[in-house]
Structure 1
Amino acid sequence: MNRLAAVAAAVTLVAGCSSGGAQQSAAPSSSSPAAQKVALTYWNWVPGMDKIVAVWNTAHPDIQVTSSTQAGGDDSATKFLTAAKAGNPPDLVQAEYQALPSFVAAEAVADIKPAADPVKAQFSEGIWGLVTLGTDAVYGIPQDSGPMLLYYRADLFKKYGIAVPKTWQEYADAARTVHAKDSKVYLGTFSSKDPGSFAGLAQQAGGQWWSISGEAWKVAINDEPTKKLADYWGGLVKEGVIDSMPYFTPEWNKALNDGKLLTWPSAIWAPGPLSTNAPKAKGKWAIAQLPQWNAGESFSGFWGGSAVSVSAGSKNKEAAAKFATWLNSDPEALALLVKEGSIYPAATKGADLLSEPPAYFSNVPDFWKQAAGFGAGARGFTFGPNVNVAYNAFKDAFDKAALNKTSFSDALQSVQDGTVADMTKSGFKLAQ
């Protein structure tokens, strides 16, 4: 069986390859009964997870979970895949949404659909799609999410006489107005170092970078919505009316702190970085819906977030799936994730647990209610099995394009070509 066939079997595709999915889909039912005393290990990087696990352990003496703190990011994903290949993975793993397809491709995580189906209604369609890869299989329970919205300096919008942009055209017009009034001030910046942000904006625009067609992967990073997005930002960079400094750099921090950058299209977790990097602007920022491509629309995208998956190599899949479901859907567990882990729960009812606004946004008393509304319109999006390759190709190509003010469409094509070449080399079957 080639690698694509293995992937297709793993995701139990309903179109033409369901016969290959029996091993994965049957995994949970073949696991040890939950009534038998079992010990589970959970790799994650959520602060305070040991306290949350302790609550579970007290209530479930027959299923004891040990939380093992990991670094997060690509290093943790590589570590998990290595452990899975060696036959000694943890029972549960925190999986970033963009890393999950590579776990599925490696047959490292189990389909937990029987345990997951009862809580499906607690998650938005866009979030749920991130753990299904567009199939009937379920490869994790969503834990946290990063719906995107627009952060803006309300005081400086007033100073420069601009309104909160409702469309991207209005955003571009406002960028020109601001920069014309003060050449040292920019409405925003394009970051070539943050492909996750670009992916979220592409999702909002209607892009679909990966999809599965029959037994083949389709790669369309250069689809029309994403081309439109690339041309839009590339045009503003070339025109010089927005900056091109990357996020999370000393220069970016200073610009935010000094009021030289007026907006940040970011995720719901942005209050943390803003409070650290721009302390002088506390109480001066406000939030709004992302500008839309067409007036009257209400779309968003995701930047960040993760799920809890069950290892295919776990000897106690049923018990592990029970814990993963409790952790991300039970009201007590969600409250603990907010209190101890400081995360924004993926479950829709999680937002109700967030009453007090972030201290940095004390001027927006209904911050969480507003943010939940702005991020509710996220479109479906499927990540592919080699996101790391695509993201590295993005950084290389868009770094050069931003520096030289050359075509962002050409840079996007470079990302598409590099991603396809890597998938072909790795043995994935690609749709024509």
Structure 2
Amino acid sequence: MHVNRLAAIAAATLAAAVVAGCSGGAGQSAAPSSAAPSSSAAAQKVSLTYWNWVPNMDKVVAAWNKSHPNIQVTSSTQAGGDDAATKFLTAAKAGNPPDLMQAEYQALPSFVAAEAVADIKPAADAVKPEFGEGIWGLVTLGTDAVYGIPQDSGPMMLYYREDLFKKYGIAVPTTWDEYAEAARTVHRKEPKVFLGTFSSKDPGSFAGLAQQAGGQWWSINGESWKVAVDDEPTRKLADYWGGLVKEGVIDDMPYFTPQWNKALNDGTLLTWPSAIWAPGPLTSNAPKAKGKWAIAQLPQWNAGENHSGFWGGSAVAVAAASKHKEAAAEFATWLNTDPEALGLLVKHGQVYPAATKGAALLTEPPAYFSNVPGFWRQAATFTAGARGFTFGPNVNVAYNAFRDAFDKAVLSKTSFSDALRTVQDATVADMTKAGFRLAQ
């Protein structure tokens, strides 16, 4: 991909502040075109393709197709994750992308940088009040442009073994200082048991905790990107977990491994700071502990605060090359804000809707948490303070650098803040090589 601008950013084009990275060809390129709502969007019959990995999305789409005969949508199931993002960028570069794409929040900036998605602000403005400020920030990238409609979210909270907290005589920690003391207490009473673990394999989790701490790894300053992966809040976070690992009072096994599964099952791991979607993995990976876990707000850095962060989630973006942007934007807003659509997403897709009114549709607790009848109501309270965050155009580079640097730091018990500096340097070097203008 050729990098060919940032100096050409025009004030009249809101999207252009973030399309600084890659384009499909040489020469100056226009910013992604915008899509506005229009009564003429469905004047003639159009067909749209939507790439996504939500289970049973075809059942949700069927409801739209029934009530919108002139805008017919075909759902195409994709693998999800990095594979789906790469496939979409490849299709966009070749000029044959789908009209709509499910985009993980951390992947969306790379789509924008490649000019693969459209600014749909005119269509999105009407539904902005349906979403919290933090989640909306993930689709605007710190600008007035809007590059997708939030679909699902991953606000974080604390999952803990209620029965074992009672056994070891510890209270649910409300601050991270209390969490550290509880970790010491548990490990002192039973050296083979740990309150928690630090996973060097899961940068998304660390990014969510950095958000909670107030970190802002990427931001847009005029016509430039600012990179601050090692900002003060994130250094504080790194030093905190690095200190606990070095002290030996928490474990260092990665999440989603056989060792981790065993610890969740046999009660040698007592907490997991995770996202709203955690009941799924717990159901699969720790079946023996069903009914023994409870939920709480993430511990706070300062007593009395109410902050959280996001780990995971996705939006629905409209391809810049779509010939039917207005119709596509209309479908994207319906899918993620219409009460019927949200109900179907919850029922068939097992989605935790990003729209604030979506939480009201979740009434029965996950089967794994049958012991917590007010699970969703509590979760909404615990995650209401999710902070905003802007992902950059090379999240994949930063995340890979995180895994490498923190793997080494965990193995050698060396400084986590030094590892964080390595991630910062790798991220800046990659963006500089790619031709992005960086703020000093």
- Give the TM-score of the pair, scaled to structure 1: 0.96
Find out whether 1:211 has 2:213 as its counterpart. no
For 2:5 and 2:398, the matched residues in 1 are separated by 19
> C-alpha deviations, 1:7-59, integer Å up to 9, x for none?
88572449xxxxx9975354547998322100000000000000110110010
Alignment of structure 1 residues 266-281 onto 2, 5 Å: 266-281=274-289
The one-letter amino acid paired with 1:204 is Q
- How far does residue 301 in structure 1 lie from its aligned partner after superposition? 0.2
Q: Secondary structure at the match of 1:185?
A: coil
Find out whether 1:391 has 2:399 as its counterpart. yes
Alignment of structure 1 residues 181-330 onto 2, 5 Å: 181-330=189-338
Residues 82 and 286 of structure 1, relative CA distance in 2, 3 Å threshold: same
The number of residue pairs the alignment matches comes to: 427
Conserved 8 A contact 1:39-1:63: yes
For 1:26 and 1:285, the matched residues in 2 are separated by 46
Q: What is the match of residue 416 of structure 1?
A: 424
- How far does residue 95 in structure 1 lie from its aligned partner after superposition? 0.2
Uncovered stretches (5+) of structure 1, i.e. residues with no partner: 15-19
Residues 244 and 60 of structure 1, relative CA distance in 2, 3 Å threshold: same
CA-based RMSD: 1.8
> C-alpha deviations, 1:349-404, integer Å up to 9, x for none?
00000000000000000100100111110111000000000000000000010111
Q: What is the match of residue 120 of structure 2?
A: 112
Conserved 8 A contact 1:129-1:381: yes
For 1:246 and 1:287, the matched residues in 2 are separated by 21
Q: 2:381 aligns with which of 362, 373, 376?
A: 373
Q: What is the match of residue 333 of structure 1?
A: 341
Q: Secondary structure at the match of 1:71?
A: coil
- Give the TM-score of the pair, scaled to structure 2: 0.94
Q: 1:11 aligns with which of 15, 25, 31?
A: 15
For 2:300 and 2:368, the matched residues in 1 are separated by 26
The one-letter amino acid paired with 1:320 is A
Q: Secondary structure at the match of 1:11?
A: helix
Conserved 8 A contact 1:4-1:215: yes
Q: State percent identity of aligned pairs.
A: 83
Conserved 8 A contact 2:35-2:123: no
Q: 2:74 aligns with which of 55, 66, 72?
A: 66
- How far does residue 191 in structure 1 lie from its aligned partner after superposition? 0.2
Alignment of structure 1 residues 163-174 onto 2, 5 Å: 163-174=171-182
For 2:342 and 2:169, the matched residues in 1 are separated by 42
Conserved 8 A contact 2:51-2:98: yes
For 2:222 and 2:260, the matched residues in 1 are separated by 44
Residues 403 and 25 of structure 1, relative CA distance in 2, 3 Å threshold: same
Uncovered stretches (5+) of structure 2, i.e. residues with no partner: 19-27
Q: What is the match of residue 104 of structure 2?
A: 96
Conserved 8 A contact 1:149-1:267: yes
- How far does residue 2 in structure 1 lie from its aligned partner after superposition? 2.7
Q: 2:369 aligns with which of 352, 361, 371?
A: 361
Q: Secondary structure at the match of 1:120?
A: helix
For 2:75 and 2:196, the matched residues in 1 are separated by 40
The one-letter amino acid paired with 2:90 is T
Conserved 8 A contact 1:146-1:268: yes
Q: What is the match of residue 17 of structure 1?
A: none
